[in-house]
């Protein structure tokens, strides 16, 4: 029997069929190698040449090169919207950069991550929503060359192509970047008209970006990831009722814009305890959930597979917070075997870590993670 291509393997699994083995992913903002040093150590361990310039797209989230993709048996390759040429990288100081929305992002010395250090719409009133200097979703430089790149990858490789949206920021995420987390929560209760107007304005932007993005790459991709962090480890950040009032209508518009321009699967990334929103995601036509943070409340993989395994596929599930840094290679192999046996039955599982692999995870453990997926992911599962 002819071996399946990565693309065929990926699509069979996400159509809830069993391919030859569980497909493997690496390279999204939620599932890649963190930091240049960690990536260099991995390449050295594998005996691969170290690059003089390593490509990364946000906070040293590494874009793995094809040598690493092949060495780790990865089935995916990623496409991303371009940084618009109108945005001039403005540095406030050695640790802070202002993004195209006017949000300053600070990376403290010794930290691996940046965070918003101020919020440009923190004190805004209703009339200031229209006056705010909104980025232009139609700026052509965002999409330059994307169709040609996607077409070339589709024709010349057999990877499953995944379109990653807007560097990990969804419409709710952007409200608190602009407004501040406490303010947007109070707005939902105290200022519903302002809240609806802000979400509507942001959704207009997102709909336009995703429509343009999908028109460029939609015929070539197999999945698109939309990012929206609605939960913490112990449950939702705000009630499902407020989600359905303010955020779900935005998601419906955005996902419809995607669905109208590509047959690709929609994957939604929501960290933490996403369980309370899964019925809503199914209703919206979401087909894949990421990162499946099994260490969070209500995220038992057996329960998820039993209740949602016919409607949803699962992407991730190997804990990077406590398990990977502390586990031995043998323990990693056993956890990979266990997770594949639960989530991989009948297809519906895309294997990877549940978040980016942190620099305290050794190359030996990274190799154990991916080689175990090949070893134990072959169908039929034992």
Every domain of the chain and the residues it spans:
6-82+118-376
CB atoms within 10 A of CB 328: 11
- pLDDT tens digit sequence for 250-273: 999 999 999 999 999 999 999 999
Q: How far is CA 133 from CA 4, 18, 297, 346, in A?
A: 49, 49, 39, 49
CA-CA distance, 185 to 312, in Å (whole number)? 29
pLDDT at 166: 79
Q: pTM of the entire structure?
A: 0.96
How many helical (H) and strand (E) elements, i.e. helices and strands, does the chain have? 15, 13
Residues (pLDDT < 70) of the chain are 1, 52, 57
Give the whole-angstrom CA distance, residue 25 versus residue 320: 15
Residues 6 or more apart from 2 whose CB is under 8 A from it? Answer: none
Class of domain 6-82+118-376: alpha beta
Which residues lie below 8 Å from residue 174, measured CB to CB, with a gap of 6+? Answer: 101, 202
Q: According to the model, what pLDDT value does residue 233 have?
A: 96
Hey, how many other C-beta atoms are within 10 angstroms of the C-beta on 354?
26
């Amino acid at each position: 029997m002819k071996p399946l291509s990565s693309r065929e393997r990926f699509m069979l699994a996400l159509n809830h069929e069993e391919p030859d083995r569980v497909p493997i992913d690496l390279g999204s903002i939620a599932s890649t190698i963190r930091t240049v040093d960690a990536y260099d150590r991995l390449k050295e361990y594998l005996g691969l040449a170290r690059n003089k310039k390593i490509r990364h797209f946000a906070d040293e989230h590494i874009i793995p090169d094809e040598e690493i993709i092949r060495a780790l048996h990865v089935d995916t390759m990623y496409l991303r919207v371009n940084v618009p040429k109108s945005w001039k990288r403005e540095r406030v100081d050695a640790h802070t950069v202002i993004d195209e929305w006017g949000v300053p992002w600070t990376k403290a010395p010794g930290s691996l991550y940046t965070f918003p250090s101020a919020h440009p719409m923190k004190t805004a009133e209703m009339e200031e929503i229209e006056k705010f200097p909104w980025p232009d979703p139609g700026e052509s430089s965002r999409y330059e060359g994307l169709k040609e790149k996607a077409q070339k990858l589709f024709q010349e490789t057999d990877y499953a192509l995944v379109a990653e949206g807007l560097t990990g920021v969804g419409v709710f995420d952007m409200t608190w970047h602009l407004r501040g987390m406490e303010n947007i929560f109070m707005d939902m209760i105290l200022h519903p008209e302002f809240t609806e107007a802000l979400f509507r304005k942001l959704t207009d932007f997102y709909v336009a970006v995703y429509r343009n993005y999908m028109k460029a790459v939609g015929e070539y991709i197999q999945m698109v990831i939309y990012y929206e962090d609605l939960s913490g480890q112990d449950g939702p950040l705000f009630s499902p009722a407020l989600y359905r009032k303010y955020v779900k209508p935005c998601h419906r518009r955005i996902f419809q814009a995607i669905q109208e321009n590509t047959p690709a699967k929609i994957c939604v990334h929501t960290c933490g305890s996403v369980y309370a929103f899964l019925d809503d995601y199914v209703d919206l036509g979401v087909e894949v959930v990421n990162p499946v943070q099994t260490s969070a409340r209500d995220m038992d993989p057996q329960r998820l597979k039993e209740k949602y395994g016919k409607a949803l596929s699962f992407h991730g599930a190997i804990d990077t917070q406590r398990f990977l840094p502390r586990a031995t290679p043998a323990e990693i192999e056993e956890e990979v075997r266990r997770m594949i046996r639960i989530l991989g039955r009948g297809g519906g599982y895309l294997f990877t870590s549940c978040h980016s692999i942190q620099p305290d995870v050794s190359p030996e453990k990274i190799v154990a993670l991916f080689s175990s997926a090949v070893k134990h992911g072959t169908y039929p599962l034992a």
